[in-house]
Amino acid sequence: MIDGGKRNLLGVLVNVVDYEAAEEKVINAARAGEPLGVSALAVHGVMTGVLDRTHRSRLNQLELVVPDGQPVRWALNVLHHAKLRDRVYGPTLTLKVCQRAAVEKLPIYLYGSTSDVLEALAANLTRQFPDLEIAGLQPSRFRRITAEEKRQIVEQIRGSGAKIVLLGLGCPRQEAWAYEYRHAISMPVLAVGAAFDYHAGRLRHPPEFLQRFGLEWAFRLSTEPRRLWRRYLLLNPCYLVMVFFQLIRLFSIKPYKGNVRFDILNYG
């Protein structure tokens, strides 16, 4: 098990962890009823923190930020000698946590996406893990929510008996949600994004060899070019240049952790 603490990657604090350590942190917090904000960051997620100081502060105050993308893992290894042999891929971490939750009788709650995706996701997860208890499903409203709606969301999740929330709102909204709600519901919140669509059968997994060589982005770009071209063709080269500059110590972005006001009109 590897748990080397947090390291600065372009101003974003990313945990040097493997699957075993990440899973253990989630399960321990679920058992204890403690808040734990979890984000699985690939290059795009890191760059949202680089480009937005407020969001960087949110990310840096989450308790667990795992290296979801191979380029994030490579950067940790090069910059900080992390010696990570694999990334901690959000969809895979989701399955590992669900497997442990089923064994330990820790109910989960699914929040985000659409009703159709949630129902397919719940069916597939319970088919794979028959002992998994799903305490509730709540789709995204796809709009900003009121203070009263936020209170209702908190009450529904806490009243469901859930011990873990799986969150699929897309980056960066899901990280903002995890930051804002984790203490209110007092349990682990895993912002795992595309894992919902993958495990609901709505997205095809990239071939293993593309994932291994950090080319998952090319597969996703080929499937959704209009939506994703800016993310990958602009941010990826920028990320590589900035990591190189940090490596040669040309510059370093400070991991800002200033106060961020809770946004009661947050997207939900």
pLDDT digits 0-9 by tens, 191-245:
998 899 999 988 777 777 666 766 676 666 666 677 766 776 778 899 999 999 9
Tell me the pTM. 0.91
Most confident of 142-146, 158-162, 214-218: 158-162
- Measured in Å, how far apart are the chain's first and last C-alpha atoms? 35
Asked whether residue 41 is assigned to any structural domain, the reply reads yes
Residue 74, burial from CB neighbour count under 10 angstroms (0-12, 13-18, 19+): middle
- In terms of residue numbers, what domain contains 143? 3-199
Asked whether residue 194 is assigned to any structural domain, the reply reads yes
Asked whether residue 224 is assigned to any structural domain, the reply reads no
What mean pLDDT is predicted for residues 75-93? 96
- Sign of the CA dihedral 59, 60, 66, 72? positive
- For residue 265, pLDDT over 50 is answered with no
Asked whether residue 58 is assigned to any structural domain, the reply reads yes
* Structural domain count, the chain: 1
What mean pLDDT is predicted for residues 41-52? 95
What mean pLDDT is predicted for residues 155-183? 95
Asked whether residue 89 is assigned to any structural domain, the reply reads yes
263 Cβ contact partners less than 8 Å away, ≥ 6 residues apart = 176, 180
Residue with token string 């998952």: 216
CB 188 within 8 A of CB 30: yes
CA distance 30 to 41: 21
| Percent of the chain residues topping a pLDDT of 90 | 74
Answer with the residue of higher pLDDT: 220 or 187: 187
CB 87 within 8 A of CB 77: no
Asked whether residue 245 is assigned to any structural domain, the reply reads no
What mean pLDDT is predicted for residues 82-100? 97
Asked whether residue 101 is assigned to any structural domain, the reply reads yes
Asked whether residue 40 is assigned to any structural domain, the reply reads yes
Scanning 3-112, the segments in alpha helix (DSSP H) are: 19-32, 43-51, 53-61, 70-80, 90-104
- For residue 260, pLDDT over 90 is answered with no
